[in-house]
Amino acid sequence: MKRRHFVAGLTAAAVLPVPASGQSRKTPLIGFLFPGPAAFGTNRLVNFREGLRYSGWNDEQVEIAARFAENEAAKNGPLAKELLELKPDVLVAIAAVAVDAARAATKTTPIIAFDLETDPVAGGIAASLAHPGGNVSGLYFDFPEFSTKWMELLKETIPQIKSVIVVLDPASPSPQLKGIITVAGPLNIAVESMEVRTMSEFDDVFRAARARRPDAVMILSSPLVGMNPRRIADLTVAYRLPTISPFPELARAGGLIAYGVSLPGAIRQVGVMTGKVLKGSKPAELPIERPTRFELVVNAKTAKDLGLALPPLLLARADEVIE
């Protein structure tokens, strides 16, 4: 399927060549629900296809019907139902808001989820990581302990740090906030949280954060952040806020530091898991996976603009340094 078909969200049915016997064979269909913009989601579809190929499904052997909610949360429910009307063999849902919409729309169609914020067991999505037990499996990352690394990186970069503002999306409740507050206490770092619900609110939030003059800003995981790294990085630069986030793309775009999941690598994992379902694996018995690749990206140019001297050991550990 050509990329422009993905952008438009079309689902023209591609049929495999008719075998010599004259009998047509069914092409497996994957529904792909993405809560962000099509311009961003098409890149993730490329990564997803790579995972499918790794699991043995070449492009001509499988059809993908993609829908993009364009950062409008209310669209995910109707789009999930629209995809289910196509009777896909598996429904792939990217981010918690899309996963919730998919789960609300079907209890029978296999769902492969990609969710960086939710605890699937505590959230009632799976009976256990090893045996989910329902129609949902996928890739989850909900480690509160990961926030310890962010605090350590900030302390290493800004030794005199005394205050941090945490920007979070209440629609994507992050388990990391509790970990941040826990680790900040012994370090004598004051933590204040600020909520952002839409992209249009980021400007006001960063303006208010700047007025409080924090030593650093920590931006927690949310589809809003992960799918709009350039816009958010531009704001952090404009308001001269040293930021750390779990999205490497944000540091590449102008944020100070990012340490988190490699999104292309994680989406490839989702593609591999989806391929297993197409081969007969049931989500009920397909173990939930964790991301396997993480990246530390440091923006030396931003540090220089902010008057920060990056520690040599930090630069040596970084997977990528933006000069």
State how far the Cα of 34 lies from the Cα of 40, in Å rounded to an integer: 9
Could you read off the pLDDT of 179-199 as tens digits, one per residue?
888 889 888 999 999 999 888
Q: Which residue has the higher pLDDT, 7 or 102?
A: 102
pLDDT at 174: 65
Please say if the pLDDT value at position 284 is more than 60.
yes
Question: Is pLDDT of 232 > 50?
Answer: yes
- Residue 157 parent element (H or E): helix 146-157
The reply to whether 3-141+262-285 and 146-261+294-322 are identical in fold is yes
Instruction: Return d(Cα 254, Cα 236) in angstroms, integer.
Output: 8
Residue 153 pLDDT: 94
pLDDT in tens, 71-103: 888 999 999 999 999 999 999 999 999 999 999
CATH code of 146-261+294-322, in short, is 3.40.50.2300
Tell me the sheet residues that pair with 114. 94, 139
Rounded-to-integer distance, Cα 33 and Cα 268, Å: 15
| Whole-structure pTM value | 0.85
Architecture of domain 3-141+262-285: 3-Layer(aba) Sandwich (3.40)
Q: Label residue 11 by pLDDT band (50, 70, 90).
A: very low
What pLDDT does 7 receive?
A: 36
Boundaries of every domain in the chain: 3-141+262-285, 146-261+294-322
